[in-house]
Amino acid sequence: MMASTAFLRNERRHPMDLRQKPRIGVMGPALCLPEVYNLAREVGYLIGSKGAILICGGKGGVMEASAKGAREAGGITIGILPGASASEANPYIDIPIVTDLGNARNAINVLTSQAIIAIHGSYGTLSEIALALKCHTPVIGLDTWDLTPPGGATLPITNARTAEEAVNTALGMIPTEPIWIPSTGQLARHD
């Protein structure tokens, strides 16, 4: 018991603890074609390999593929689940968040993410894009909805052509948050 407590204390002091890792949401349909699955898996792999945490809806399709890729790269995955059981998470989710909120969980997906990558998509993905725009969460589109609001204004959605471009753009759009350094008693920024 003492060893695990010491581990937790040391983990909190680490300058890049879990609270400071970038959180990128990957949004997309639960049912998708193989080429979309492979694209999502590549996005997930790149997120994991760059040390970011992958947030998704925790189910199949794009969510499963991106989580699988992140896990293959040694990354951490969080699934925000629509139902009341952690057992509904795909096998690549490290941390299942049970909500019993159905589609309303999309708000949690967006608010937990510091940037979202929308891949392909159905109406759930469309709702997450809209919520992200409303909440000023950066949106990167990868083969997803082409949207034009009334009046023809340009929406702040950055379209990417490749998985690498999408992930690099998402990471570049996440503001650097200050972290508390207990030994100095000061806030500092990490890169």
**The predicted structure's pLDDT at residue 120:** 96
Domain count of the fold of the chain: 1
What's the pLDDT tens digit per position in 132-167?
Answer: 999 999 999 999 998 988 888 889 999 999 999 999
In a domain, 122, yes or no: yes
In a domain, 50, yes or no: yes
Residue 101 has pLDDT above 60, yes or no: yes
**The predicted structure's pLDDT at residue 106:** 95
In a domain, 85, yes or no: yes
What's the pLDDT tens digit per position in 63-73?
Answer: 999 999 999 99
**The predicted structure's pLDDT at residue 183:** 65
Residue 178 has pLDDT above 70, yes or no: no
Query: Using CA atoms, how far apart are residues 104 and 115, in angstroms rounded to an integer?
Result: 19
In a domain, 8, yes or no: no
Residues in the chain: 191
In a domain, 11, yes or no: no
CATH code, domain with 112: 3.40.50.450
pTM given for the model:
0.84
| Helix ranges, the chain (H) | 2-13, 34-49, 62-72, 105-112, 123-134, 163-173
**The predicted structure's pLDDT at residue 6:** 44
Q: Which residues constitute the domain of residue 172?
A: 19-189
**The predicted structure's pLDDT at residue 190:** 44
In a domain, 12, yes or no: no
